[in-house]
Amino acid sequence: MSQAVKCLIVLVIIALLFVTELIPLAITAMGGAIACGMLGFIPAKTVFSGLSNSTVVLFAGMFVVGAAMFYTGLAQKIGNGVVKVSGTSENGLMFGIMVVAAALSSVLSNTGTAACLLPVVLGICSAAKIPASRQLMPLAFAAGLGGVITMVGTPPNIIANGALQAAGIKDTFGFFEYAWIGIPLTVVGILYMMFIGKHLLPAAALDADQEIEQEIEAGDTSSKKQWISGAILLVVVIVMAVGDSIGLKGIVTLEMAAIVGAMISVLSGCLTEKQAYASIDWVTIFLFAGMMPVSTAMDKTGAGKLIAEWTVGIMGGSPSPMIVTSVLFILSCGLTQFMSNTAAAALLCPIGVAISKQLGASPKAVLMAIAVAASCAFASPVGTPPNTLVLGPGGYKFMDYVKAGTGLCVVSFIVSIIVIPMVWPFFPGK
């Protein structure tokens, strides 16, 4: 049995344990990483490399920065202000949250956007007396949708453009060209969550939120500390947004900004050291860190490539470009639920170019479909960092993502198959 097949078996076991939650999600993820090391899919020394990944550090830092806003009472104050303007309508709040998240993630990191907005959304939910579980998953989904709008919104967009360049095609994608599909997807995604997806979200509130609120009531909520915690978040967001353009590229990274913000939050007394440690959601940390080596194993063993080859084989000798686009979208969307979106796009884009050339069709539509699908990691908490980030604070289970996210994947597929061939014809000029 080849390493690729063994890796696929491990992935199936991990998926089953995720869906059934027979054991905690974090243990499943870390156990999967250990299994990949013991079976020789990845070097043993890289089994726990996910714990030192920069995104894990970003998570930890932003959890603390967000908690500071709660412990000072600022998040609740912002929430009260938003509720006064928009009311306590669940749909109204969801619309506002998703529009802001999508707009920010179109030019910022999806992960950074979700991390920055998390404490604000928790404050809004607290003020509106709405369980956080009703708004945090829409926040994560909007961050993923908004990332499709520009070339820098998400890595798969850059990879698709790179695949065109590597194939010697001069007509590459423009910076805002992705908006032709990104904006329709975002609009339809918001409408889906407001009118269909919300009925598939859990309604349970988190005990942890109530405990934080009790601590706030008993603690120091002085205006000075509220201003400090707000200023910390604002500076962190600005550095994340425009750091590269003001000469900080390579000097201050997203992770450094988050950790410095967390340290200042503690040093300024916005929250205690004990509260800072308690505010880090360790399930999120270990879940993300555990799945990173599994994703690497899929790449190194050829398991992902094997899935792609099987799928291409099913299409037969000379399928129509529409069938190719549809199948590769579904494959990319399926892979990205368990692989990083970057890895899924990197794996499939060269395949898309090769098949398009074989059919004599322009590869732009196929590559756009692959890139968009790689960003549709809505049906799993491990498909993309924003999904993982809201897992703990939202009190979600694995199946909550499957229920609410699968429909969004289907809607995204339908919109993409209609819009993409219209904007990027398979046979331009004919």
Which residue in 295, 425, 427 sits closest to 365, CA to CA? 425
Report yes or no on 8 lying in a domain: no
Report yes or no on 225 lying in a domain: yes
pLDDT tens for 313-339 read: 777 766 788 988 999 999 899 988 887
Report yes or no on 394 lying in a domain: no
- Per-residue pLDDT at 402 exceeds 90: yes
Predicted local distance difference test score (pLDDT) of residue 207: 46
pLDDT tens for 348-359 read: 887 788 788 777
Average pLDDT over residues 111-129: 84
CB burial string 136-155: b at 16+ within 10 A, e below: bbbbbbbbbbbbbbbbbbbb
| Model pTM score | 0.74
Contact 145, 186 (CB under 8 A): yes
Report yes or no on 67 lying in a domain: yes
pLDDT tens for 76-110 read: 787 777 777 777 788 989 998 999 889 888 866 68
Predicted local distance difference test score (pLDDT) of residue 244: 59
Boundaries of domain holding 60: 52-154+177-282
Q: What is the mean pLDDT of the chain?
A: 84
Report yes or no on 277 lying in a domain: yes
* Total domain count, the chain: 1
Give, in order, the Cα–Cα distances in Å from 414 to each of 72, 325, 329, 428. 45, 12, 10, 22
Report yes or no on 136 lying in a domain: yes
Report yes or no on 196 lying in a domain: yes
Which residue in 97, 73, 266, 260 sits closest to 190, CA to CA? 97
Report yes or no on 274 lying in a domain: yes
Q: Which residues contact residue 165 at a Cβ distance below 8 angstroms, ignoring those fewer than 6 apart?
A: 172
